[in-house]
Structure 1
Amino acid sequence: MLTSSSRLLRLLSLLQARRHWAGAELAERLQVHPRTLRRDVDRLRELGYPIEASSGVGGGYAFRPGQALPPLLLDDDEALAVAIALRTAASGMVGGIEETALRAVVKLEQVMPARLRKRADALRTTITPLDSIGPVIDATLLAALASACRDQLSVRFTYTDIRGAASERWVDPQGVVHTGSRWYLVAWDRGREDWRTFRLDRIQPPATMGAHFAPRPGPEGGDLKAFVSRSLAVSPYSAQARIVLHAPREVMAQRIPATYGLLEAIDVERCVLRCGAHALDHLTYWLLAFDVDFEVLEPVELKERLIRAGERVARSVGPR
């Protein structure tokens, strides 16, 4: 049987782990009587934790938003993950949060137990992030768009395309995707009546939130990463190709960024690459650089260029 203080900490940890707990299930996890559970919940409320109780079918306990952020209970791995994330944010691509992230990680590391602080110090002193290679994103804009996706709120903003032309957009946001160098908003464009991707660094803040919209099935069956990959690596180009690579998708995904091509697994040993370029010659020499066997499914013109390129290479290394 846990002591009263230990039981309160355990109860707090459970309540923070899920949105809602049935009373009977929570009492069973703590191995206490429901009356004891109610008293423990009351004690946490007295300490400032906003715990909501509901009765009847489906009733139980849940945290509700409060005016102040209550203390959170993190296990060792969770605390270490948060520390790493905060240090990454302090040197990352989201602007306006660097100083805030550093303050937060200092507070966290100050209260870490010695065993955990040693692990955090090892990571801090041995991991050196490279300079960001992508544009810096406004943190307020990123948070606003993420909230609009979650709450299904339409958004209006001014967008600047690759040619520098600005236009007003009214969209129903579906999700935000990070490719490693850039952030993209996937949204239903009401003016174009189609799904679109928008680079966040080309959206002029502030974005204006509108009314709720009716949800619709997302593009690519809801796989937003695949949609962004196709939008960036295939759709914009006049020369498009499908190639079977004789290597596992997981292996090729480490070599081909999502912005260069869309990979789909065939089986454990092969995958299909969908990609594009402004000219087939660009695809020809890119494919020849792969150290894997491959088969061109389409177009036929790419096969012909590869044959000619192979013959040229053979002549170059053959006897004179």
Structure 2
Amino acid sequence: MLETSARLLRLLSLLQARRDWSGPELAERLGVTTRTVRRDVDRLRELGYLVHATAGTPGYRLGAGADLPPLLLDDEEAVAVAVGLRTAAGGSVAGIEETSVRALAKLERILPPRLRHRVHALRSMTVPMTGAADPVDPEVLTAIAAACQDHEVLRFDYRSHEGRESRRSAEPHRLVNSGRRWYLVGWDVDKGSWRTYRVDRLRLKAPNGPRFVPRDPPAEDLAAYTSRAVSIAPYRYRARLTVHAAAQVVAGHMPPTVGTIEPVDARTCVLRCGANNLDEIVVWVALMDIDFEVHDPPELAERIGAMADRLRAASGTARRVTVPPGNPAGGADGAASAGLAGPTAPAREEG
């Protein structure tokens, strides 16, 4: 009996690992005959697993049934699920915290000691930094995702950054998550253009609108497109700078909703960002402690010059302080904390 149960678990693991298996392949992996494979498949069906069989040469595929049967996870998958559940328990999706905690408790109860130790080590060595983002109802996310998949027009009330309410109709394309907020990229039916909407600012209206023929997306890289839409387009000033450092180095100073980075070569990149106040950009790029050149707007270069004159004048009367290279205020941590995390950090929708 133990041998049969172990073989069933092994068979289930194989069916989950690959889409299609032939009977002889499964028999070889399990060290049994194809007749035994057929019997074991019947036992899995009795346990609630939907296993499809093809005619002719025997072939098997694990399908989705009416009920959720138990799943088999390898070590890395189990750790990944546990970490994901722990993140969801305190994440930006409202309403799933308690459910995530219950699921995590069930999973940790059956984890082998070696895996439980890895999960606990990650938890004890990680300090979450909560943001000010509004949580999103998971039902709203699933409804939007279904409309994207089924190509159905979404109807919703939308609240702008200034608090203005409007009725929108959009052909949804994709959901984009920045880590702090969720965005919907879609074609605005009334405005006749691609728009980016913050999901926490919309209220869906039922039922959905008619089905539509999907359009070509506004960009191949939707993450970069969304970053530009929420970090540059909404603002009064849109800056373009050449930064003399590798793109990955500059990326360490900023979240994706603050600006976009385009690599030029191994030691240079182009940074684009936006703000309603030039001083915010001046302070932020200065605190990166990296050489840069301003291309746009001209007012930014003038403001940097005025600020430099003021600081130069102040340095003649202030007590001299020697700052070692790589000081915290100029490093990645300092730039991240004093950069566009103030008035310009909240991502603003294009739509």
SS in 2 for 1:95: coil
C-alpha change, 1:29 and 1:176, in structure 2 (3 Å) is farther
RMSD: 2.8
Q: Is the 8 A contact 2:52 2:63 kept in 1?
A: yes
Change (3 A) 1:133 1:49: same
- Gaps in structure 1 of 5+ consecutive residues: none
- Given residue 252 of structure 1, which amino acid in structure 2 is its aligned partner? V
CA gap of 1:38–1:261, structure 2 versus 1, over 3 A, is: same
Aligned to 2:53: 53
The aligned residue for residue 286 of structure 2 is 288
Matched residue count: 315
Structure 1: distance between partners of 2:317 and 2:117 = 63
TM-score normalised to structure 2 length: 0.79
- Alignment partners' CA distance in 1, 2:212 and 2:255: 33
Compare relative contact order (CA 8 Å, sep 6+) and give the higher one, 1 or 2.
2
Q: 1:208 to 1:90 in 2, by over 3 A?
A: farther
Aligned to 2:234: 236
Are the counterparts in 1 of residues 152 and 208 from structure 2 also a CA contact under 8 Å? yes
Match of 2:265 in 1: 267
How far, CA to CA, are the matches of 2:142 and 2:304 in structure 1? Answer: 47
Question: For residue 252 of structure 1, what is the aligned residue in structure 2?
Answer: 250
Structure 1 counterpart of 2:248, one-letter code: E
Give the match for residue 12 of structure 1: 12
The Cα shift of 1:29 comes to: 7.6
Quote the Cα distance in structure 2 between the aligned partners of 1:283 and 1:126: 34
Please tell me the residue identity of whatever aligns with 1:8.
Answer: L
CA distance change for structure 1 residues 260 and 125 in 2, over 3 Å: closer, same or farther?
closer
- Alpha-carbon contact 1:245-1:292 (below 8 Å) kept: yes
Alignment partner of 1:144: what SS? helix
Aligned twin of 2:310: 312
Q: Where do 1:67-86 residues align within 5 Å?
A: 67-86=66-85
Task: Determine if contact 1:141/1:207 at 8 Å carries over to the other structure.
Answer: no
Normalised by the size of structure 1, how large is the TM-score? 0.86
Q: Which moved more, 1:92-101 or 1:208-217?
A: 208-217
What is the identity, as a one-letter code, of the residue corresponding to 1:16? Answer: Q
Asked if residue 120 in structure 1 is aligned to residue 116 in structure 2, the reply is: no
Unaligned runs of 5+ in 2: 319-351
Query: Which secondary structure state, in structure 1, belongs to the residue aligned with residue 208 of structure 2?
Result: strand
- Corresponding position: 1:162 with 2:165: no
Aligned equivalents of 2:174, 2:148: Cα separation in 1: 6
Q: Secondary structure at the match of 1:68?
A: coil
Instruction: Give a deviation string over 1:246-296, Cα, whole Å, max 9, x none.
Output: 222222222112221111222232221111222434323332222111122
* Counterpart residue identity of residue 260, structure 1: V
Cα pair distance change 1:273/1:28, threshold 3 Å: farther
- Asked whether the equivalents of residues 253 and 288 of structure 2 are also in contact (C-alpha less than 8 Å), the reply is no
Q: What percentage of residue pairs aligned between the two structures are identical?
A: 46
Query: For the Cα contact (< 8 Å) 2:89–2:100, is it kept in 1?
Result: yes
SS state at 2:261 partner: strand
